[in-house]
């Protein structure tokens, strides 16, 4: 081959590779991210309790945020039953961190079985600017169908608080139904179902039926933490994406579930699900931004 022809071929191949790469890259959303599900260690010794691979210290979370273009992260603690001193200390730590670092969204917690004390704590953190309360039926050991949970959901609506509920129970197969009923009965309370029900996600299609009622205020959101890396590339992929689109992409939020999942993998798993760039923008940023401003 003549040198000029070889040169032209090299240039052509280089341009081709660059063009293909550019097309691939612009197919995905690479803007700022809001991570709606980040656990943070606030008590001594707590930092190595959730993952064998990474500690959920403030320093590690801030490093991850800078590396992955995460503009805001919702930092979560979980209250224990019957220990209000611990609950208040956890919540105060979360609030103090969010005041020091405005990129951290405070997610406080109460235990529904703490009754009036839990309500008082919700009021106290609400006055300090907190808008999200975390509840974890499985690890906190309560039944979503309990009357105390219904009272708490009503109270959250009065205070304009969002309830971030873990939505996967390995022991209560009816939990998704109970969560949906709770949201249906408390239209003024906004709910985020964390992990989108995980392996029980098809049950969330009941929301599609709720949407037909004139009184339904679209008060259910889901975060796709854990479910995206676990099921995003599985044989369930098509069902999962179809379920999200049927319920409405507008109601879904990105979360990494740091430190349980490698956040880079969590982001990559969403990129691999085949959403359009516009849908990815909503999942990674737009929807959370809208929810936080409501």
Asked if residue 121 binds Zn ion (CB under 5 A), the reply is: no
Min. distance of Cβ 13 from Zn ion in angstroms? 46
In the complex, least distance from residue 8 CB atom to Zn ion, rounded to whole angstroms:
55
Task: Give the interface segment with Zn ion, choosing from 48-56, 89-97, 237-245, 253-261 (CB under 5 A).
Answer: 253-261
Helix axes 115-127, 84-100, angle to 10 degrees: 10
Q: Is 190 helix (H, G, I), strand (E, B) or coil?
A: strand
- Verify binding: residue 257, Zn ion, rule CB under 5 A: yes
Shorter beta-carbon distance to Zn ion: residue 134 or 178: 134
H-type alpha helices, 129-262: 137-140, 147-158, 175-185, 206-210, 227-231, 237-247
**Spatial contact of 163 and 191, defined as CB atoms under 8 Å apart:** yes
- Residue 35 in contact with Zn ion, rule: CB under 5 A: no
Nearer to Zn ion, 257 or 280 (CB): 257
- Smallest distance from Zn ion to CB 263, Å: 12
Q: At 49, phi and psi to the nearest 5?
A: -95, -10
Q: Find out whether the peptide bond into 259 is cis, omega within 30 degrees of 0.
A: yes
Instruction: Using the minimum distance from each CB to Zn ion, give the nearer residue, 257 or 279.
Output: 257
CB of 141 to Zn ion, least distance (A): 16
Residue with the shortest CB distance to Zn ion: 257
Residues whose CB is less than 8 angstroms from the CB of residue 9 and which lie 6 or more positions away in sequence, other chains included: 1
Nearest CB to Zn ion, comparing residues 170 and 214: 170
Provide the mask over 202-221, with x wherever binding to Zn ion is found by CB under 5 A and - wherever it is not: --------------------
- Using the rule CB under 5 A, is 114 a contact of Zn ion? no
Query: Residues with Cβ < 8 Å from 131, sequence gap 6 or more?
Result: 160, 161, 162, 292
C-alpha 204/C-alpha 49 separation (Å) is 30
Residues that bind Zn ion (CB under 5 A): 257
């Amino acid at each position: 081959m003549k040198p000029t022809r070889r040169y032209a071929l090299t240039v052509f191949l280089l341009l081709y590779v660059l063009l293909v790469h550019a097309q691939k890259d612009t197919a995905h959303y690479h803007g700022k991210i809001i991570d709606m599900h980040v656990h943070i260690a606030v008590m001594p010794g707590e930092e190595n309790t959730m993952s064998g691979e990474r500690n959920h210290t403030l320093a590690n979370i801030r490093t991850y945020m800078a590396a992955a273009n995460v503009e805001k992260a919702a930092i979560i603690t979980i209250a224990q039953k019957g220990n209000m001193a611990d609950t208040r200390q956890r919540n105060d730590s979360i609030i103090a961190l969010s005041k020091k670092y405005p990129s951290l969204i405070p997610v406080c917690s109460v235990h529904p079985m703490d009754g009036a004390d839990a309500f008082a704590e919700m009021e106290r953190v609400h006055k300090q600017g907190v808008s999200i309360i975390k509840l974890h039926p499985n690890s906190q050991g309560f039944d979503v169908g309990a009357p105390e949970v219904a009272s708490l959901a009503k109270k959250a609506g009065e205070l304009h608080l969002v309830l971030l509920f873990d939505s996967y129970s390995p022991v209560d197969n009816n939990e998704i139904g109970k969560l949906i009923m709770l949201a249906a009965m408390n239209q003024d309370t906004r709910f985020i179902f964390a992990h989108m029900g995980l392996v029980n996600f098809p049950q969330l299609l009941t929301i599609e039926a709720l949407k037909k009622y004139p009184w339904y205020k679209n008060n259910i959101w889901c975060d796709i933490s854990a479910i995206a890396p676990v099921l995003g590339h599985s044989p369930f992929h098509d069902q999962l994406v179809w379920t999200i689109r049927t319920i409405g992409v507008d109601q879904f939020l990105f979360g990494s579930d740091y430190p349980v999942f490698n956040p880079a993998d969590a982001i990559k798993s969403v990129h691999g699900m085949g959403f359009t760039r516009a849908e990815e923008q909503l999942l990674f940023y737009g929807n959370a931004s809208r929810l936080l401003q409501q």
